[in-house]
A and B are shown apart, each in its own frame.
Chain A
């Protein structure tokens, strides 16, 4: 892509849906002085004739940035990108401004007025396109073993599959022999004894394979690097750290099965849990099993249906083993009727042959344990029945993920969901945004399941790794450049690593000090929360930078009426519901100019302050509902603090806090979106435009400067909307304290910014400075003294016993 700007603007009539509501000739007229290479109006640019026409123009005029004024970019972008690829236009070079849903369909104003709004949005898009930078994707190598961490059973299968395809792997496991693995199997997969022979086969292959190195599972010190080049540090018993390098990581973590709570049942030796039984089965001692009736009672509804199903399956399989090996025992499974036993016809035949009883009970009525009997209500006749037992077995409950998990979670983008279930980052991308899956997480810690399922997961992970290798061999393993860290600006504070939800920003070894971070763009989601929080503004989302957004907002602001406002909508909840408002035929006032961003978390705080500095009357933000639906985990919660800081600064400057507001909508709630817009517009109508006098301007300048200050950005970056928080860091004891601490920081930095602004015009002594700033002298003298001491301002001379301060470095 040439850096010379050649923007082609293609306006869509959409069969009258746009052209009847917006006067497109007027739009072209309003854009006449903008620097475009081509501007045309087309009936349907998205259909074949339209696409051909665009391609012809691109080639004839050497256009390298395409702007389409049409309908939703979420839906249409792919079509244009695919069609224009043949003339060398890439995805980021196509910008779609949604004239239909943001302007034409939702406002009642005249076509001439709407043309002005359309022109403003297009001018914004042009400003953003102008700042595009060419970039080259990075080709990755993929050599070395696969590191299988976590010690789960699925890891063995993965290693086996990899070895069969000639790929090396290093397996870290607690159990160093096949026998140990089998002995401990029932701790994670009770009831899977019948698979032991198959499992033994796999393990034998793994332990004898020259391509698999089984290493002891020493405590993890660090995991650094990225796809193709991971390095794992393990703390050795002698205290040293050994590093193992590998191309990919498979995390195999299983959930341990805890013993069931059977104390409340009592019954001494006659009552046991599944794990006890499994131990005894493992030893295979006939004397351990007295003849009589053994009832497996599947209870523990609190662990969910899946756990019950698993327990019932385990009970069924153990019954099979008992029936074969210990025929003196008559097993029976009593399971709740709300679960289904996935048994085949052959299983049922076997059950009959061995006399294994299968009985369901109505889960609404809790069975009662008596000495020698359990009474339960049968779902078929609603009568209470009794079943006799000599041994009662209560299944254990799925417990916590293996202890290894805590070490791994620190370093990998795996999160603990409610219920202790571990999950890979729940960020959902559009599939074409993801290069390849590059982190593999398997095992029952991700969800209650049986051994079979887990082995399949292991195989799948191995296939994924082999795909990566295949791609690398063909030279197609390419990492897109999504996020770039400027090494000169990065001070290595690590804030980005802490807040990154996708594991895209590299960890560094503990104790290696402030080293610049690098990004693993294979994992990066491009959410941009990191870029917007970086205290030193060292991170940029390539071709979706804060500078581009700033340029866009500025261009829109330049064309806005004084009573209009800006609306930032996130690419998921906000944008989708805004567009759906148009589909549903809803209307709202045309005074709001929508600027879509990927996630509100990617909205740099300085954009908000810049908009006010450029005279916007009010700003509304619409994002997804915090926590449960933000696609980038906590993006919207981070943004909340920026809005909050902006409100505080506005009130420090004597302006109304309500000029800023943030709201939350889901993708299919257009009515809520319209209500939000109307309410904010109403509030704004009652307010005067921003005062344009020099004093207010100076304050707004200072607010903008404050938003660029590393200390403020650090405080904003570490803050997260946590209304339910009970514990606060450091000396802050409660929510009010924490808020006041933040207010103090903002106040101080705001004053510093104002001092800079005043001193920029002319050197001043403290009383004159106080007069210029409209502040009591006592408020600014301590700050001035500090600033002079730190050398941020200089003392130029003395006058009437006062120092005269000026800008400059000491």
Chain B
């Protein structure tokens, strides 16, 4: 058993567990976007940052991937953490102003749209990758993938083509936190533009 503290509270865990898991098990909530119980941690959104003091120095790390160690002191709500989180939410908000989930987060952290403007169309997707990972890890096929890079990065199917592999199971639309997957799903199934009235 590894013993350490979170927000001054003494907690225990086993080798290999992450700070996020132990915190949640002990009823301490840490906000996340790209984390899902069914999937391996991914560390894309950085929203789960916490401050870890290992006795020598204090660092801001992502809790979803940081393995616990004996004696560390974890702060989940320190001013430093709050500052980092606010910036992350700020950037996410500027990137996906349409996403209801991000709007909710912005409200919680008191963030408003800034001078940063994203080029291109506003789309609710903020590239957390849950759909891509769920398709691969849960369903076991690889219908979804990231396309392009940088500012033009997007969720798509390989070669942007309607997929023959897609089972139509809807796991991606279920796991998508913003609802942006609906449109992508139609495209992946090759149904875009088709009427869905029966």
Binding site for B on A (CB under 8 A): 15-16, 43-44, 46-50, 52, 71-72, 74-76, 78-79, 428-432, 572, 576-577, 579-580, 583-584, 625, 629, 631, 664, 666-669
Q: Are A47 and B21 in contact (CB under 8 A)?
A: yes
Distance from A607 Cβ to chain B, minimum over Cβ atoms (Å): 24
CA distance A577 to B174 in the complex (A): 9
Q: Which residue of A lies closest to B165 (CB)?
A: A428
A47 close to B25 (CB less than 8 A): yes
- Does B122 count as interface, using CB distance less than 8 angstroms? no
**Binary flags per residue of B43-76, CB closer than 8 Å to A gives 1, else 0:** 0000000000000000000000000000000000
Q: A431-B140, A580-B174 are in contact. Are A48 and B17 (CB under 8 A)?
A: yes
B50 → A minimal CB distance (Å) = 16
Given contacts A78-B138, A431-B140, contact A46 B168 (CB under 8 A): no
CB-defined contacts of A75 to chain B, threshold 8 Å: 36, 38, 134, 138, 171, 174-175
Whether A49 and B169, one on each chain, are in contact in the complex, defined by CB atoms closer than 8 angstroms, is: no
Instruction: Enumerate B156-170 residues with CB–CB distance to A below 8 Å.
Output: 167-170
The closest CB in chain A to the CB of B198 belongs to A625
Q: A85 to chain B: closest CB distance in Å?
A: 16
Taking a contact as CB atoms under 8 Å apart, the answer to whether A668 and B140 are in contact is no
Known: A49-B13, A576-B173, A576-B174. A629 touches B24 (CB 8 A): no
Q: Are B167 and A429 in contact (CB under 8 A)?
A: yes
Mark contacts of B20-54 with chain A using CB atoms, 8 A cut-off: 1 yes-contact digit, 0 otherwise. 11101111010000001110000000000000000
| A-B contacts besides A76-B37, A430-B140, 7 pairs, CB < 8 Å | A44-B21, A44-B25, A48-B14, A74-B171, A75-B171, A75-B175, A576-B170
B139 interface contact, C-beta 8 A: yes
A669 to B13, CA, bound (A): 42
- Check A428 against B24 for contact (C-beta < 8 Å): no
Closest B residue, CB atoms, query A629: B168
State A49–B6 Cα separation when bound (angstroms): 16
Using CB atoms, name the residue of chain B closest to A75.
Answer: B38
Contacts of A667 in B (CB 8 A): 168-170, 173, 185
Q: List 21 A-B residue pairs with CB atoms under 8 Å apart, sorted by A's residue number.
A: A43-B25, A44-B24, A46-B38, A47-B21, A47-B24, A47-B25, A48-B21, A49-B13, A49-B21, A74-B174, A75-B134, A75-B138, A75-B171, A76-B37, A430-B167, A572-B170, A576-B173, A583-B173, A583-B179, A668-B173, A669-B196
Total number of residue pairs linking A and B with CB closer than 8 Å: 96
User: Once bound together, how far apart are the Cα atoms of A583 and B140, in whole Å?
Assistant: 22
Residue of A nearest to B27 (CB): A43
Q: How far is the CB of A10 from chain B (nearest CB, A)?
A: 13
* Residues of chain B contacted by A52 (CB below 8 angstroms): 14
Q: How far is the CB of B75 from chain A (nearest CB, A)?
A: 19
Whether B110 is near chain A, meaning CB under 8 Å from some CB there, is no
Knowing A48-B17, A78-B138, A432-B140, the reply to whether A43 touches B24 (Cβ < 8 A) is yes
Bound Cα distance A563, B38 (Å): 36
Give Cα A48–Cα B141 distance, bound, in whole angstroms.
Answer: 25
Shortest beta-carbon distance, A93 to chain B, in Å?
19
Contacts of B179 in A (CB 8 A): 583-584
Q: How far is the CA of A15 from the CA of B186 in the complex (A)?
A: 32
Q: Which one of B13, B14, B24 has the highest number of Cβ atoms from chain A below 10 Å of its Cβ?
A: B24
The interface of chain B, by Cβ under 8 A from chain A, is: 13-14, 16-18, 20-22, 24-27, 29, 36-38, 134, 137-141, 167-171, 173-176, 179, 182, 185-186, 196, 198
Residues on A with C-beta less than 8 A from B168 are 428, 572, 629, 631, 667
**A contact residues around B196 at 8 Å (CB):** 666, 669
Give the residues in chain B near A44, CB-CB below 8 Å: 21, 24-25, 37
Among A47, A583, A668, find the residue whose CB has the most chain B CB atoms closer than 10 A: A668
Chain A nearest CB, measured from B62 CB (Å): 15
Residues of A within 8 A of B167 (CB): 428-430, 631
**Cα–Cα, bound, A687→B101 (Å):** 41
Instruction: For B168, give the chain A residue with the smallest CB separation.
Output: A667
Contacts of A428 in B (CB 8 A): 167-168
How far apart are A598's CB and chain B's nearest CB, in angstroms?
13
Closest to A584 in B: B179
4 cross-chain pairs, A with B, having the tightest CB-CB distances, nearest first = A667-B170, A46-B37, A576-B170, A431-B140
Known contacts A48-B21, A572-B170; decide if A668 and B182 are in contact (CB<8 Å): yes
Residues of A within 8 A of B21 (CB): 44, 47-49
Q: Which residue of chain A lies nearest to B175 when distances are taken between CB atoms in the complex?
A: A75
Cα(A428)–Cα(B25), bound, Å: 37
Asked if A49 and B25 make an inter-chain contact with CB atoms under 8 angstroms apart, the answer reads yes
CA distance A580 to B16 in the complex (A): 33
Q: CA A50 – CA B14 in complex, angstroms? A: 12
- Distance (whole angstroms) from the CB of A625 to the closest CB of chain B: 6
In the complex, which residues of chain B have a beta carbon less than 8 angstroms from the beta carbon of A629? Answer: 168
Residue of A whose beta carbon sits closest to that of B20: A47
Q: Which of A49, A428, A629, A666 has the most CB of B within 10 A?
A: A49
CA–CA, A75 to B198, complex, Å? 28
Residues of B within 8 A of A50 (CB): 25
Which B residues are in CB contact (< 8 Å) with A580?
170, 173-174
- Are B169 and A78 in contact, with the CB atoms below 8 A? no
Query: Nearest chain-A residue to B186 (Cβ)?
Result: A668
A576 and B170 CA atoms in complex are apart in Å by 6
- Closest chain-B Cβ to A612's Cβ sits at a distance in Å of 28
CB of A376 to closest CB in B, whole Å: 30
**B166 to A, closest residue via Cβ:** A428
